[in-house]
Amino acid sequence: MAGKLKYGLIGCGGCGENKHLASYKKYSDEIELAAVFDADISKAKAVAERNKVPKVCKSYAELLADSSIDIVSVVTPNVLHAPITIAALKAGKHVHVEKPISMNAREAQDIVNAKNRSGKKVMVALNNRFTESSQFAKRYVDEGHLGEIYHARCGWRRRKGYNMYGTWFADKKMSGGGPLIDLGVHFFDLTLYLMGFPAPAAVSASCYDKIANPPKAGRKSDSVMLGRNVAKGKYDVEDIAVGFAKLETGASVAFEFSWASHIEKETTYLELLGTRGGFSMHDGVIRMFSETAGDLVDIVPQTKNTSGWGDNETRHFIDCIKNNRNPLSPPEDAVKMMQIIDAIYSSSKSGREVVIKKNKTSK
């Protein structure tokens, strides 16, 4: 594909400007910033001015109707990801859609179907797959150093991610859920990606909103800091989601994701247990564990997380479009991720394990 690709941004909030626009701007030899749209037009105008984007559209339909635009990023509240992505595919655009791909697995499958009909590319913006550490981990696993991976643990636990409370992130009809769908999609996705993304089989989970909505105190939070933010807006999602998933391969994953919990400090972790070795990534630091010459050994690689938020991911998507390659973070994986998320919320509601039906259409 010769010449510059023309780029449009839909959703000019924090992630839209600071991740998507900032990274596409860095590849100015290949990308021409063409247009932006945000429901808040004054925000869109300010973002366009700061980033020298020539056109501010009055609707996303107007942006999609511009036949010169090749790629769009969809960086809106989650509820709009599927409808805008599908409309963009119908308009003949390649789509870089933020996580979570959609509100549920059915919508994610609709995106896969629309992508297959359009012949265009869709990449889910799962930046944690694109770090140097994650790519090192993927090579390490694929080279077979862990043997068969039979169990994993993953989590992203925040002590007080209270800035989410009182915003659209905490309004279930806008976001689809709380820390599970916000943070969980990153680290659950990375875990499954390293394991080769097996299909899910069953989930047993619990979601709690004890900190935002303590039962004995009505809807008033025990937490002064949290209560202050909840008072600003709606709050009907979980504080924390915990549980256990079984995969079709027989392997299992234990998980916990929180925005608010009484723990020492925020932490991220991912551990893989294999028959020949173990792998861990705690707060971005990688270690491997195995046996050599009759003793236990710990391996500490030199790899550092030096990717930059979104840069590697955007670079990769441009290459996929120019060289007709398949994105490393495809929507087909996101269908399986959303099946797990749907099952987690369903299991928490019913108090029972949820068996996940095999999806015959996503691949």
Ligand X SMILES: NC(=O)c1ccc[n+]([C@@H]2O[C@H](COP(=O)([O-])OP(=O)(O)OC[C@H]3O[C@@H](n4cnc5c(N)ncnc54)[C@H](O)[C@@H]3O)[C@@H](O)[C@H]2O)c1
Q: Which residues of 325-358 are buried (b: 16+ CB within 10 A; e: fewer)?
A: eebbbbbbbbbbbbbbbbbbbebbeeeeebebee
In the bound complex, what is the minimum distance in angstroms from residue 141's beta carbon to ligand X? 23
Residue from the set 40, 62, 222, 291 that interacts with ligand X by CB under 6 A: 40
Distance CA 76, CA 81 (A): 7
Tell me the two tokens of residue 236.
């009907």
Report helix angle 105-118 to 331-350, nearest 10: 160
**Residue 16 touches ligand X, criterion: CB under 6 A:** yes
**Residue 152 touches ligand X, criterion: CB under 6 A:** no
Residue from the set 99, 115, 120, 129 that interacts with ligand X by CB under 6 A: 99
**Residue 60 touches ligand X, criterion: CB under 6 A:** yes
**Residue 14 touches ligand X, criterion: CB under 6 A:** yes
The whole-angstrom distance between residue 281's C-alpha and the CA centroid of its chain comes to 18
Footprint of ligand X on 234-293 (CB under 6 A): none
**109 close to 103: Cβ distance less than 8 angstroms:** no
Nearer to ligand X, 125 or 286 (CB): 125
Residue from the set 12, 56, 57, 356 that interacts with ligand X by CB under 6 A: 12
**Residue 75 touches ligand X, criterion: CB under 6 A:** yes
Nearer to ligand X, 77 or 179 (CB): 77
Nearer to ligand X, 140 or 269 (CB): 269
Nearest alpha-carbon partner for 143 in 192, 196, 188: 196
**Residue 104 touches ligand X, criterion: CB under 6 A:** no
Nearer to ligand X, 127 or 339 (CB): 127
**Residue 37 touches ligand X, criterion: CB under 6 A:** yes
Q: Which helix (H) or strand (E) holds 55?
A: strand 55-56
**Residue 10 touches ligand X, criterion: CB under 6 A:** yes
Number of other residues whose CB lies within 10 A of the CB of residue 217: 10
In the bound complex, what is the minimum distance in angstroms from residue 153's beta carbon to ligand X? 21
**85 close to 98: Cβ distance less than 8 angstroms:** no
Residue from the set 23, 76, 223, 268 that interacts with ligand X by CB under 6 A: 76
- Max CA-CA distance within the chain? 68
Tell me the two tokens of residue 216.
């004995």
User: Could you list the residues that contact ligand X (CB under 6 A)?
Assistant: 10-16, 37-40, 43, 60, 75-78, 80, 98-99, 125, 127, 182
